[in-house]
Chains A and B, each alone.
Chain A
Amino acid sequence: MPNKKTLAIYAAGGCGGCGQSLLLSPNLVLLLDRVDLLFWASSTSDLTDEEISAYDDRGIDLLIYAGTVRGNENIATARLLRAKAKRVVAYGACAHLGGLCGLANVYSGAQLRALPSADGEFVQPLSSVIDVDYILPGCPPPQAMVTRMMEELFIADVMPEQGTVFASNKAVCAQCDRKHVPNPLSSVRRFHTAPPDPEICLIDQGYICLGPVTRGGCDAVCLKSNRPCTGCAGPVAGVRDQGGAILHALASLVSFPGTDTEKKEHQVLDSIPDVIGTTYKYSAASSILKRRVNDGK
């Protein structure tokens, strides 16, 4: 096939789940037939910055970047890759939002440096260090979204608009078929100690579910397993701060009749355990909070 697009895949810090989601795509064989794969590299094991430098500027038609950006070394490599690529995809929750390891940002630099294997550097989303053209959300990205990305980037005649997110603009709730039974939030429940009714909206039952503030397109797969959405696809279109948005939504649901209501409402919100881990599980590094800046003393 003449004029094949050139593709490069770069995996920075990550768990390997993004690579597996690409490998599992039924379109992978078709993809590899349509592109020249220049490299599929991990951060340090088989590609150096010197080797990346050897590629022409803008010589890579499309770069898929998966994994976390953490520290100057990752930042330098990301910038180098950006210079070589015409278009860049932030693939998966780590590149998109900072991911789970962004929760390490709740520690100060001094606290991190005190750990045996950490170096005191903070996690950032890819878009905070380079311009990103496309986003594929998810941890790891679900096949429906991977398929859409491959079709739009490699099969369609026209490249998608810059800024395209290969997911739904609607919230996860749009694909959740649980019944809505509006109910004031009077206490916070945890699903492993009190199994939820699989037919009714989890928030209506008192569980913390990030579905209303999380970008959909995943077929609400976690809810179908009777577990709450944990927000891996990041904030729904128009929402800046995922954790802040769900806390705002929950606060609006807390309601008590009679007197002393403010105190009771505070008690409910204060009872949310591990607030950062629950509401910013994947997005702490890209939130308005970003990171701890002192030792909290």
Chain B
Amino acid sequence: MENRVLDLIPGFGEVVLRKKAGLTARVSVSKGAAGFSSFMRGRLAEDVALYVQRIDAHCAVPQHLAAVSALDRCYHVAPPKKAIAMRRALAYAGFYFHHLEELFLSRAGGSDGTSGLISTDESILVGDAFSAVTLSQELITLLGGREITPERGIPGGLSSGISDEGIDQAKRDASQLLSFALRAEEAFRASGAAWVKVQDLTVPAYSLATVEKDSAVSLYDGDLCIVDERGKEWAKGEAIDILPKLLSWKEDLPLRVGPLARLNVGKISTSQARSLQEKMFDTLGGPPLHLVAAGHWQTVIELVQASELLAQALSEVESGNSGITSPLGKPDEGIAAIEGGNGTTVHRYVLDEQGIVQEAQVFLPRQVQAGSINVALASVIGSNDEVSETTIERIADVIRANRPAFVPTAVLPLRVTLRDEVGKVSQEWRRP
């Protein structure tokens, strides 16, 4: 019943404990792909990105970019380099904003409600975090044309360009964001790292993320890559080839997306973030690494990575409205994958000759995450047949550390309900 708009798009999460021959816990995900497709059928191609980001504004930037990338493919068009540089920069700004929101505003983390960042030097870092939130949204506005829900992306390029003053401002903002990210990572290592290290929940899984041409992990687009629990490449290719494997996952172990998956899939291409990640591996071991709480550490490192990538992309952004679109071809089908903060998003659209949507599918991280979350939940409950506060704390740890894209558990307080054999609620807990 949560979040009624989302029932147009695949999935929302619910944690249900059942006391039936011992305790079981499970996150269930509804599948509403047919509803989303029906909702989008008959809509205009140029409106698609507007719709999808308003169905999932928590990931508005990756949804916007995934839609326009899929539409590029529908129209068989390669956007000009100038437009790609802007889109990349927008993606990294969105990535940064998303991670800030996860780390500071949703208080993602462990049983003390933190991941080490808020409790460390709270008065300074939290105040600066709000400034960084504002700066990253300013970047989204400068690059995307509108705050929260960017709108410049269109099939074949961009609807408008950026001014010289806008680029200068964006570079100043990006520099401040890198500075904050480095401080946040340092603060995390000072206290959060110790917290991660004592968390003993390890859940082996396959890992999915997008990778660049040089196999470095991407925070924007690229090929999809899946590695097994040992870190060995299991599948790699374009979204159109990998999507069928995702939709019919049959392996013994679950598939994971998001920060913990990205650290297993590929190396970081930027120098400062890579160096910080090596320090994490020195402390925790890996890669591969399946310590669930390590996802928080990786998230902070990705703040640095996104800042560095943002600076690189901005150095290639050019001002002006000329040369920002390429001529469109005859539309048909297109699929694209974009790496969002919570994991890989895949969009598929089929257009008719007039550019009207005939079919629409969105594959979201939350569909993947349920599998690894459920394995982890089974681990923390074990053979218990009674619910203790510790059990609830560990359930909360699992949910948050897996970084689910379930709105009620990622952004808002978690509620766990215990139902008896006939489904009647017998007990309820909350985490603030």
User: Chain A interface (Cβ within 8 Å of chain B)?
Assistant: 12-17, 19-21, 23-24, 26, 29, 41-46, 67-68, 70-71, 73-74, 94, 99-101, 103-104, 107, 111, 115-118, 139-140, 142-143, 190-193, 195, 198, 221-222, 224-227, 230, 273-274, 277-278, 281
Contacts and interface: CB of A to CB of B under 8 A. Distances in A.
Contacts of A140: 57, 148-149
Given A24-B134, A104-B8, A198-B160, A115 B44 contact: no
Contacts of A44: 1-2, 408
Interface residues on B, range: 35 or more
A192 to B, nearest CB: 4
Q: 10 tightest CB-CB pairs across the interface, nearest first?
A: A13-B4, A117-B32, A45-B408, A225-B145, A17-B57, A192-B46, A15-B57, A226-B160, A115-B35, A46-B413
Contacts of A277: 42-44, 47
B37 to A, nearest CB: 9
Nearest to A23: B105
Nearest to A14: B5
Contact of B51 (A14, A20, A74, A100): A100
Interface in B38-59: 38-39, 42-47, 50-51, 53-58
A68 to B, nearest CB: 6
Contacts of A71: 4
B355 A118 contact: no
B131 to A, nearest CB: 10
Contacts of B328: 192-193
B194 interface: no
A42 B3 contact: yes
A231 to B, nearest CB: 11
A222 B146 contact: yes
Contacts, number: 176
A109 to B, nearest CB: 14
Nearest to A193: B328
A54 B111 CA distance: 29
B32 A115 contact: yes
A71 B31 CA distance: 20
Interface string B1-27: 111111110000000000000000000
Contacts of A73: 1
A273 B45 CA distance: 11
Contact of A16 (B7, B58, B325): B58
A230 B44 CA distance: 13
B134 A26 contact: yes
Given A227-B159, A277-B47, A14 B3 contact: yes
Nearest to A74: B4
Given A193-B328, A195-B159, A142 B151 contact: no
B145 A221 contact: yes
**Dominant SS at the A interface?**
loop
Nearest to B52: A15
Given A13-B5, A118-B7, A190-B355, A100 B105 contact: no
B54 A139 contact: yes
25 contacts: A14-B3, A16-B58, A17-B54, A17-B149, A23-B105, A23-B133, A42-B407, A43-B3, A73-B1, A115-B38, A116-B32, A116-B33, A116-B34, A139-B54, A191-B46, A192-B355, A193-B355, A195-B159, A222-B146, A224-B160, A225-B151, A226-B159, A227-B145, A227-B151, A273-B354
A44 B4 CA distance: 10
Contacts of A143: 147
Contacts of A118: 7-8, 32, 35
A273 B356 CA distance: 8
Interface in B291-318: none
A42 B412 contact: yes
A118 B430 CA distance: 28
Residue from A16, A111, A277 having most chain B Cβ neighbours under 10 A: A16
A224 B58 CA distance: 24
B238 to A, nearest CB: 24
A199 to B, nearest CB: 10
Contacts of B249: none
A191 B8 CA distance: 27
B58 A15 contact: yes
A191 B290 CA distance: 47
Contacts of A107: 38
Contacts of B234: none
Contacts of B58: 15-16, 20
Contacts of A227: 145, 151-152, 154, 159-160
B240 interface: no
B156 interface: yes
Nearest to B37: A115
Given A23-B133, A277-B44, A43 B2 contact: yes
B404 to A, nearest CB: 13
Given A73-B1, A117-B7, A16 B407 contact: yes
Residue from A20, A26, A44, A116 having most chain B Cβ neighbours under 10 A: A20
